[in-house]
Structure 1
Amino acid sequence: MSVQVKKEYVTVRNKSFIEKAEQLKPELLTKVVKPVSIVNVKADQKAIHGWTAEYAAPVSELSERELAKKDSFILDFGDHQVGYLSMDIRPAGSPPDAPLKLKLTIGEMPVEMAEPFESYDGWLAGSWLQEETIFIDVLPAKLELPRRYSFRYVKAEVLETSRKYRVVFENIKCNSVTSADYQAVKPLKYVDPLLQKMDEISVKTLADCMQEVFEDGPKRDRRLWLGDLRLQALANYKTFCTNDLVKRCLYMFAGVPDDNGQVAANLFIKPELIADDIRLFDYSLFFVSTLYDYYEATKDMEALIDLWPIALRQVELALERLDERHIVTDSEEWWSFIDWEEGLNKQAPSQAVLIYALKQAIHLADALNAPEKSMLASCLVDIVEAAKQFLWDEKQQFFISGADRQVSWASQVWMVLADILPKEENAALLNRLLMADKAVGMATPYMYHHYVEALLLSGEREKAIEQMKVYWGGMLEDGADTFWELYDPKNKSFSPYGSHLINSYCHAWSCTPTYLIRKYNL
């Protein structure tokens, strides 16, 4: 699936908001991390993507190895790192009479050490694949890579030296960076060790995505996406409590809307704050949700007063998409995200997202005593009734979406989260879904988060825990040290981008088990 951008958006820059965001820029915390072992990567049909890393030798042995042309090694840093690599390289034998040509391959998973990046044929830019080819003219040398990388494994290949000398690698390390302070996180002690581990990996995932903004993924795309931000912020309130970083991100989105008042789906941070030319129905509404959650966590009235007009505008624009029945208009272009599931129709889940955000907007309007509250409340009644009348299939006992009356997990889950049916009916709906073999499924941890929370809100606590153990627990069984962007237990090589090599294996929208565990006392 590709993103088709059909419109040129004109950005309106709010200097005051941009300045407030800049004042909230966090200090990055650094830590030196060294590799724990030398490993070999071997084919393993039982392992994720068919490759596994096995211990080969202690790191201390590396300083005793003299590498010649075509020699290589792979280092394991023990767990996921985000930061800057450096190493010392010295010659051995005769004086170096030619440059050293060195190739470094840097990856989050063993498969990135095994499958050549030249084989990549996906639709996202292959420049996201992490590798360096470096010429070093003078040895000994201290090599400091200027780019920030997201990785666990580093493969070094000596492509060229002269026959007269060899090279030795020493003092390889990563200067890791994050704006997350682990000392702020209250440790949890669980009877259930799997939930305990899930919480720890969730916190690690969130921390590695917390840089100068809440990035969606430190490997790719390194951007501030609204859908990811909303979930990261929820996890943050229960862990690091770095609430000023949430505030900074909200002001950034509010600082660069388009000339129609709509916020972008994502932002570039450098060389300056730039709004991307993607607009998504659900993501724009999640500006309301993120502001609502932030206000509930902080009671920051000053920020609410500043940002309310932008939040209100996202609701107004969403309401413009309603037809005469008060149903969100469906269309073929990439107008709403919801999930990466192939063939998913977005109409019904988008209707539910609108209801969900509209209820939050009413709460914010009430806190502000805003005059728009009565208008929003009136719209809510119409939109909820329309969903019940036109999107509920009485015969099937499911919400349907689009002209083909599609039944999907996303539609049912979002209607439960929108809370338009009684709690008991929501629970029954989710239980029927387990028996609906033809329902369009879910593809991402992003959608699975919403499913698990829908179960919890419907009183299905044990099922929620079971689903978390199957899904995020499955990632742990498959070797995750941070949670991944994509995971389909039935198709573990799934990628919407054409190749699992480009997938992100530390991704913001996967960090929510810590939120679910801590909020609902699982």
Structure 2
Amino acid sequence: MSEAIQINEQLPMVRHPHFLQAADALIPKLYRQIQSPEAVIDAVADEHVLFGWRAQPLCSVAELAQREFKSGDSVILDFGRHCVGYLQMLCHNAGSPPDAPAHLHLTFGETLSEVCEPFDEYQGWLSSSWLQQQDLWLDVLPAAVNLPRRYCCRYVRIEVKAVSRKFRLRFEAIQLHTVTSAPPHCPPCESTDAELQTIDKVSVLTLKNCMQEVFEDGPKRDRRLWLGDLRLQALVNDVTFAQHDLVRRCLYLFAGHTRQDGMVSANVFVKPQVIADDTFLFDYALFFIDVLYNYLQSTEDVATARELWPVARRQITLAFARVDDNGLVRDSGDWWAFIDWQESLNKQAAAQGVFIYCLQRALWLAERFEPELTADYRLHIQRLKTAAQQQLWDAKQGYFVSGAERQVSWASQIWLVLAEVGSAQQREAVMRKLLGQPPAIAMNTPYLRHHFIAALLQCGLRAEAIAGIKAYWGAMVNSGADTFWEVFDPKHPEFSPYGSKLINSYCHAWSCTPAWFIRLYGL
């Protein structure tokens, strides 16, 4: 099953006012900071550089204020780091009095390529309205420009599309007013490994810039709350900013607007009101349980966990509807699981692993809130594990298989290892084999890569986990990343699941987890 856009326009949905009121009471304070550009640069096409563009200094920011721009001129500003906020600047006329409006075109880019490559050539399947650009017409000069729309960028390109021949433009006091709900202070990383310290720093900035009124999956594109992303963000938040009320708010948002049968949506819009998207994913719905489990572990907030436990329990009941008489999650074309951006990936085995993993968390919660369910949950866990071991394990290959074609993939191994299917020795052998004889169906995202590192650590392969973090997230840092990206295939760095690298998110929630590994495991 591949991914596509779900459209369920007539699907009955139910609002739960008590949960929504609880979420509203937890809207966080936003911290603001002024960030000025650190450099004025020129962009040089360079095929040897990732994404094809290299920055070189052009002039100082102080010198920029003295430059005069005519029609067709442009300038690229480098703010020195990834920012999320609102642009302000002053525009002055120079020469004769302005006898016509000034037309400006602004382009915002997380990467240099986004402000260098023309958006009108974009051919991706996501809406081009996500491409960050804005046209301005200044009828009166001088003018104070305060853009109302929030942008996500490191680079800003200002193009003078048109002024009359009588005057020119000058720009000064250019600033980004950045916003985040992450507090200014974050406990320092205690790793003694310099490379891991750098990776941790990038991870923390990635999380910080995704922390707004909710944990956004990406502050450039989508800019909303996704359950799979929330699950990983909450882990990193535990060991960094500890904004547990933001996690609590997000749990209430998912519980506040559900499908009529109680299934939680894969993502939620919060404005103009809370609206659960009409996208439902088998694995993401189950992850509501894991987020609640980890929230209770981190906060000991029993009251909230008890209140939301029925929502979590409902996801288990709904998931069982997909289990066949043999104890396997049914594989068919009429269901949805995410697992990873991988068009050819068969997701049956990985979904089996996700279900077992989350059912184990549900067992822990049931022991506290509904102990009469625990005996059945234990039996179900054993039945699902036995089915996976008996029907999905291929002893000859030394791998788990998935689907009618008995596909071997990274995702299947990772999730059944995390679900603790088979003996500890078997699981360690699987992980070691992945390192030495990798399957053809690989990993495309930091999201699945997170679970790979988690599986290595679960099997006691600490050195291999450290090497994996450095080889993958370290490669992004070495390529110039100051926040971690939504997708990254080292062998195909321009890969996009959407058809264009211009629409990819280069500050993405599910990519921030090295900080969790580094801090929790003392790497």
Give the structure-1-normalised TM-score: 0.98
* Farther off after superposition, 430-439 or 29-38: 430-439
Q: Which residue of 2 aligns with 1:170?
A: 172
* Farther off after superposition, 46-55 or 271-280: 46-55
Alignment of 1:128-277 (within 5 A): 128-183=130-185, 185-277=186-278
Contact (CA 8 Å) 1:129, 1:501: kept in 2 or not? Answer: yes
Contact (CA 8 Å) 2:15, 2:258: kept in 1 or not? Answer: yes
Contact (CA 8 Å) 1:3, 1:334: kept in 2 or not? Answer: no
Q: Partners in 1 of 2:55 and 2:80 — Cα distance?
A: 11
Q: Which residue of 2 aligns with 1:350?
A: 351
Q: Aligned partner of 1:244: which letter?
A: D
Count of residues in correspondence between the two structures: 521
Alignment of 1:115-514 (within 5 A): 115-183=117-185, 185-333=186-334, 335-514=336-515
Query: How much does 1:383 deviate?
Result: 0.8
Query: How much does 1:432 deviate?
Result: 1.1
Q: Partners in 1 of 2:191 and 2:371 — Cα distance?
A: 44
* Farther off after superposition, 42-51 or 13-22: 42-51
Query: How much does 1:420 deviate?
Result: 2.0
Query: How much does 1:61 deviate?
Result: 0.7
Q: Partners in 2 of 1:8 and 1:435 — Cα distance?
A: 49
Q: Which residue of 1 aligns with 2:89?
A: 87
Partner-residue secondary structure (3-state), 2:310: helix
- CA-to-aligned-CA distance 1:6-42 (integer Å, 9 cap, x gap): 5732211110000001101101000011000101111
Q: Partners in 1 of 2:193 and 2:256 — Cα distance?
A: 44
Query: How much does 1:5 deviate?
Result: 3.0
Query: How much does 1:334 deviate?
Result: 5.8
Q: Aligned partner of 1:484: which letter?
A: W
Q: Partners in 2 of 1:174 and 1:275 — Cα distance?
A: 31
Q: Partners in 2 of 1:458 and 1:468 — Cα distance?
A: 16
Contact (CA 8 Å) 1:4, 1:334: kept in 2 or not? Answer: no
RMSD: 1.1
Q: Partners in 1 of 2:245 and 2:6 — Cα distance?
A: 34
Q: Which residue of 2 aligns with 1:50?
A: 52
Q: Aligned partner of 2:373: which letter?
A: E
In the alignment, which of 10, 24, 28 is matched to residue 8 of structure 1?
A: 10
- CA-to-aligned-CA distance 1:213-264 (integer Å, 9 cap, x gap): 0000000110100000000000000000000000000000001111111000
Query: How much does 1:397 deviate?
Result: 1.4
Contact (CA 8 Å) 1:69, 1:158: kept in 2 or not? Answer: yes
Query: How much does 1:419 deviate?
Result: 1.2
Contact (CA 8 Å) 1:39, 1:56: kept in 2 or not? Answer: yes
- CA-to-aligned-CA distance 1:333-365 (integer Å, 9 cap, x gap): 560000002300000000000000000000000
Q: Which residue of 1 aligns with 2:35?
A: 33
Contact (CA 8 Å) 1:41, 1:113: kept in 2 or not? Answer: no
Q: Aligned partner of 2:4: which letter?
A: S
Query: How much does 1:267 deviate?
Result: 0.3
Q: Partners in 1 of 2:426 and 2:521 — Cα distance?
A: 21
Instruction: Name stretches of at least 5 consecutive residues in structure 2 with no aligned partner.
Output: none
Q: Partners in 1 of 2:350 and 2:190 — Cα distance?
A: 36
Q: Partners in 2 of 1:339 and 1:8 — Cα distance?
A: 28
Q: Aligned partner of 2:182: which letter?
A: A
Q: Aligned partner of 1:497: which letter?
A: Y
Contact (CA 8 Å) 1:36, 1:78: kept in 2 or not? Answer: yes
Instruction: Name stretches of at least 5 consecutive residues in structure 1 with no aligned partner.
Output: none
Give every structure 1 segment of 4 or more consecutive aligned residues whose post-TM-superposition deviation is greater than 4 Å: none
Contact (CA 8 Å) 2:282, 2:335: kept in 1 or not? Answer: no
Q: Partners in 2 of 1:112 and 1:94 — Cα distance?
A: 35
Q: Which residue of 1 aligns with 2:26?
A: 24
Partner-residue secondary structure (3-state), 1:257: strand
Q: Partners in 1 of 2:266 and 2:452 — Cα distance?
A: 22
* Farther off after superposition, 114-123 or 423-432: 423-432
Q: Partners in 2 of 1:111 and 1:122 — Cα distance?
A: 16
Query: How much does 1:194 deviate?
Result: 0.7
Matched residues, percent identical? Answer: 51
Partner-residue secondary structure (3-state), 1:68: coil
Contact (CA 8 Å) 1:408, 1:440: kept in 2 or not? Answer: yes
Do structure 1's residue 69 and structure 2's residue 49 form an aligned pair? no
Query: How much does 1:437 deviate?
Result: 4.7
Partner-residue secondary structure (3-state), 1:434: helix
Contact (CA 8 Å) 2:191, 2:522: kept in 1 or not? Answer: no
Q: Partners in 1 of 2:438 and 2:348 — Cα distance?
A: 21
Q: Partners in 2 of 1:438 and 1:208 — Cα distance?
A: 35
Q: Partners in 2 of 1:55 and 1:141 — Cα distance?
A: 28
- CA-to-aligned-CA distance 1:267-286 (integer Å, 9 cap, x gap): 00100000000000000000
Query: How much does 1:438 deviate?
Result: 4.0
Q: 1:110 to 1:323 in 2, by over 3 A?
A: same
Give the structure-2-normalised TM-score: 0.98
* Farther off after superposition, 269-278 or 374-383: 374-383
